[in-house]
């Protein structure tokens, strides 16, 4: 059994979950500094919030910029953490040159796939042996009822096997990296089935895919614990690994546009703690399938939800507050780990 570090009274998140899965956080060049102590103490995996996306790494054809990504990787290595790579192929944050000829017209399929291969090979080989898992394709499934794949330049030019090709190129570049399909609204029953269908068809074709990434951008009300359980079971039935890749629990439902709150209410904090406790009990219950849980941030001083979907509205979706102190949610998550230790 792992020894728990209770020095200072506060257990370390990644230590308490060490028997089950890694605990990660998304970082950027600023939070790597401002949150470095918190990161070192509680997390054993890092993901670049933006610095490994296509447009950050290759803004201009053939011009690769690795400085920010390298700094994160060095920080991880220096502190004995793993790195989840995010992301190789996505419809967003991809530069327009990728899809165009010098004359401004659309490239043909072969050119697009050759560019994709060059990018994937260059990036994946650079971080070979350091990045333990890659989100190879992000968000290719449609949210629209009745539509399987999201319309995108990738789909339009290369056809639907751009997805399979991306996995093949990544596998060639690093045969040991675990390769994931990653998406949001992953617990919505209709989208869940579309993701399942896509991933199953890849597996059936022998495409090297090893896991499904559940982004887990959740909120106080949705999705229900039952929907999440069903999603976990459905994806796990494919015999693949599951990673929770971008977890946060927003204080607001997506449609809620209120802007009056300067601080979360006690009731909100309590409700969030209850939700986090339920989620982590579920994760430990299914930890045979789940081997990494990453938060989309480390503490409430910085979260992308401060701007989305309501500009300038503060949100408090993480386990630590803006001063890096543990919130009630942290306590419930640690209790979930303790409960699972008592049961085993
Ligand atoms: C998606 C992407 C992430 C990030 C979030 C918003 O979930 O996968 O990389 O951009 O949106 O921050």
**Is residue 111's pLDDT more than 50?**
yes
Ligand 1 within 6 A of 304 CB? yes
Residue that the structure tokens 């306590």 belong to? 331
Confidence band (pLDDT; 50, 70, 90) for 342? confident
pLDDT in tens, 200-255: 999 999 999 999 999 999 999 999 999 999 999 999 999 999 999 999 999 999 99
Point out the ligand 1 atom lying closest to the alpha carbon of residue 93: 10
Q: Of 232, 223, 335, 225, whose CA–CA distance to 288 is shortest? A: 232
User: 3-state class of 294 per DSSP?
Assistant: strand
d(CA 238, CA 89): 22
Confidence (pLDDT) at 8: 56
Q: Report whether residue 184 contacts ligand 1, using a CB cutoff of 6 Å.
A: yes
CA distance 88 to 78: 25
Percentages helix, strand, coil for the chain (3-state, rounded to 5) are 40, 20, 40
Reduce the DSSP state of residue 154 to 3 states and report it: helix
Confidence of residue 146 (pLDDT cuts 50, 70, 90): very high
The single-letter DSSP state of residue 4 is P
User: Is the confidence at residue 1, as pLDDT, over 60?
Assistant: no
- CA pseudo-torsion sign 238, 242, 247, 251: positive
- Asked if residues 226 and 295 have their Cβ atoms less than 8 Å apart, the reply is no
Specify the pLDDT at position 107. Answer: 98
| Global confidence as pTM | 0.96
For the chain, give the mean pLDDT: 96
- Cβ 138 under 6 angstroms from ligand 1: yes
Mutational pocket test of ligand 1: of 217, 254, 296, 318, the residue with most ligand atoms within 8 Å of the beta carbon? 296
pLDDT band (50, 70, 90) for residue 5: very low
Taking the CA of residue 86 as reference, the ligand 1 atom at the shortest distance is 9
Beta bridge partners of 298: none
Q: 192 is written with which tokens? A: 């869940």
d(CA 66, CA 73): 10
The HSE-up count of residue 158 (CA atoms within 13 Å, CB side) is 25
For residue 123, pLDDT beyond 50? yes
Evaluate the CA torsion angle 155, 156, 160, 166 in order and state its sign.
negative
- Give the number of the atom of ligand 1 that is nearest the alpha carbon of residue 304: 12
Distance 194 CA to ligand 1 centre (A): 20
- Nearest one of 344, 338, 240 to 280, comparing CA atoms: 338
Query: Is 117 within 8 Å of 168 (Cβ atoms)?
Result: no
Contacts with 21 (C-beta within 8 Å, 6 or more apart), sequence order: 283, 287, 290, 291, 292, 293
288: annotated active-site residue? no
For position 37, what pLDDT does the model report? Answer: 98
How far does residue 53's CA lie from ligand 1's centre (Å)?
A: 10
Stretch among 8-17, 28-37, 153-162, 237-246 having the lowest mean pLDDT: 8-17
Q: Is 284 in the pocket of ligand 1 (CB under 6 A)?
A: no
């Amino acid at each position: 059994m792992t020894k728990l570090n209770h020095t200072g009274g506060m257990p370390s998140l990644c230590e308490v979950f060490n028997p089950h899965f890694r605990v990660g956080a998304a970082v950027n060049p600023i939070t790597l500094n401002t949150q470095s102590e918190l990161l070192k103490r509680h997390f054993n995996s890092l993901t670049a919030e933006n610095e490994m996306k296509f447009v950050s790494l290759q803004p201009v054809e053939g011009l690769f910029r690795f400085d920010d990504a390298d700094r994160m990787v060095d920080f991880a290595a220096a502190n004995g953490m793993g790195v989840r790579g995010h992301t190789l192929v996505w419809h967003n944050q991809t530069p327009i040159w990728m899809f165009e000829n010098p004359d401004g017209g659309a490239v043909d399929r072969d050119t697009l796939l050759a560019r994709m291969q060059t990018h994937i090979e260059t990036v994946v080989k650079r971080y070979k042996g350091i990045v333990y898992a890659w989100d190879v394709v992000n968000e290719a499934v449609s949210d629209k009822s009745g539509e399987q794949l999201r319309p995108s330049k990738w789909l339009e030019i290369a056809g639907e096997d751009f997805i399979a090709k991306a996995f093949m190129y990544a596998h060639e570049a690093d045969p040991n990296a675990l390769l994931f399909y990653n998406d949001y609204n992953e617990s919505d029953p209709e989208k869940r089935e579309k993701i399942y269908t896509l991933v199953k068809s890849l597996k059936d074709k022998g495409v090297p895919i090893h896991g499904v990434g559940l982004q887990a951008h959740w909120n106080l009300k949705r999705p229900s614990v039952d929907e999440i359980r069903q999603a976990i079971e459905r994806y796990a039935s494919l015999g693949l690994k599951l990673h929770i890749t971008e977890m946060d629990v927003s204080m607001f439902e997506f449609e809620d546009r209120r802007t009056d709150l300067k601080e979360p209410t006690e009731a909100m904090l309590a409700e969030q703690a209850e939700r986090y406790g339920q989620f982590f009990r579920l994760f430990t219950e299914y930890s045979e399938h789940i081997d990494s849980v990453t938060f989309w941030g480390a503490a409430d001083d910085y979260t992308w939800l401060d701007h989305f979907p309501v500009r300038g509205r503060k949100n408090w979706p993480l386990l630590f507050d803006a001063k890096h102190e543990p919130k009630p949610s942290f306590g419930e998550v640690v209790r979930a780990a303790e409960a699972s230790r008592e049961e085993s």
